[in-house]
Amino acid sequence: MSLALLRELEPVVETNLNRHFATAKEWFPHEYVPWSQGEDFDGVLGGRAWEPGQSKLSDVARTSLIVNLLTEDNLPSYHHEIATMFGRDGAWGTWVHRWTAEEGRHGIAIRDYLLTTRAVDPVELERARMTHMGAGFETDHPDSTLHGIAYVSFQELATRVAHRNTGRISEDLVCDQLLQKIAADENLHMLFYRNLLAASFELSPDDTMRAIRDVVLEFQMPGHGIENFGRKAVQIAMAGIYDLRIHHDEVVLPILRQLNIMGREDLSGTGNAYRDELAAFMTELDRNATRFEERRAAIQARRNA
């Protein structure tokens, strides 16, 4: 199934590769780092040690940037997963390597920015990276190409939004510009995968529906394995960088709409049952998002009083 599907999708990969090469604009991470603010650290070079007062970022901006960076840092594991799933030959292989190179740029750029501006504790950051990468990343459905394509479609859009909103709340023009640039990359990645997902629907509607149902119901951010992720995620949600409302309105729903999930007429009875489960979940997610917004507003009102 999986191998046949990979072969059937290869022409679609080829078309979308060409579209990607034509639309992706070359950019250079070094241009987004204010190197003149840089300074030696203590240790080997005997410079100044890091102290919290040196960071101009708010606590939550710092948390969010660290989560985004650690997420990008785990690239070797993601590469392993998608190279195993999609293979390294032909158009698939070209995409896997190109995607990896673009993602590699994100971690490089954010780290250079954070260290140059002394935005975060460099020792803590390195230790967090070691712990996080030590745990690795595994997809929930390693044997299913369809689940893989479905997951990355939503994941790329989720990271796009997370980067974009982190830049916005950073209150630092350089940081905002850098994260806009990264978010633009993530958007092109999302388009690539979403187009593959649309093509999968044409080839095998019921199986694609099932993969989407599973991925949406089980969705976790790619960085969910980061130490104390739960606490960090709450802080990020409270600041409106990434919360249930955003997840529902700006990530899951737009992709479901684009794929015309609710209007499809090519599903069998099983496919329809998967779609019903997905629809019920979306209603529940919407309700939970509203509940979260109300709770957040109440907490903020209490804080302001």
Interface positions with Fe ion (CB under 5 A)? 103, 106, 156, 186, 189
Least Å distance, CB 236 to Fe ion, is: 17
Nearest in space to 55 (alpha carbons), one of 124, 4, 157: 124
Residue 31 host element (H or E): none
In the complex, least distance from residue 160 CB atom to Fe ion, rounded to whole angstroms: 8
In the complex, minimum distance from the CB of residue 96 to Fe ion, in angstroms, rounded to a whole number: 13
Q: Report the residue number, 82 or 128, with the smaller CB distance to Fe ion.
A: 82
Q: Which is nearer to Fe ion, 82 or 211 (CB)?
A: 82
17 versus 289: smaller Cβ distance to Fe ion: 17
Smallest distance from Fe ion to CB 183, Å:
9
Residue 50 vs 78, nearer CB to Fe ion: 78
Smallest gap from residue 113 Cβ to Fe ion (A): 14
Widest Cα–Cα separation across the chain: 69
Supply the minimum distance, in Å, between the C-beta of residue 78 and Fe ion. Answer: 9
Q: What angle do CA 28, 42, 39 make, to 5 degrees?
A: 40
Looking at the Cβ atoms of 68 and 204, the one nearer to Fe ion is 68
The answer to whether 128 and 46 are in contact (CB under 8 A) is no
Closest CA to 83 of 73, 71, 72, 98: 98
Residue 156 vs 207, nearer CB to Fe ion: 156
Of the pair 178, 285, the CB lying nearest Fe ion is at 178
Min. distance of Cβ 150 from Fe ion in angstroms? 15
Residue whose CB is less far from Fe ion, 81 or 207: 81
Cα–Cα distance, 202 to 197 (Å, whole number): 9
Q: Which pairs from 141-147 meet CB under 8 Å and 24+ separation?
A: 141/211, 141/214, 142/81, 142/84, 142/85, 143/2, 144/2, 144/211, 145/2, 145/5, 145/6, 145/85, 145/86, 146/2, 146/5, 146/200, 146/204, 146/207, 146/208, 146/210, 146/211, 147/211, 147/214, 147/215
Least Cβ distance, residue 182 to Fe ion (angstroms): 6
CA-to-CA separations, 218 to 70, 140, 150, 211, in angstroms, rounded: 21, 9, 12, 11
Contact in structure between 236 and 60 (CB atoms under 8 Å):
yes
Q: Closest by alpha carbon to 11, among 87, 92, 96, 100?
A: 92
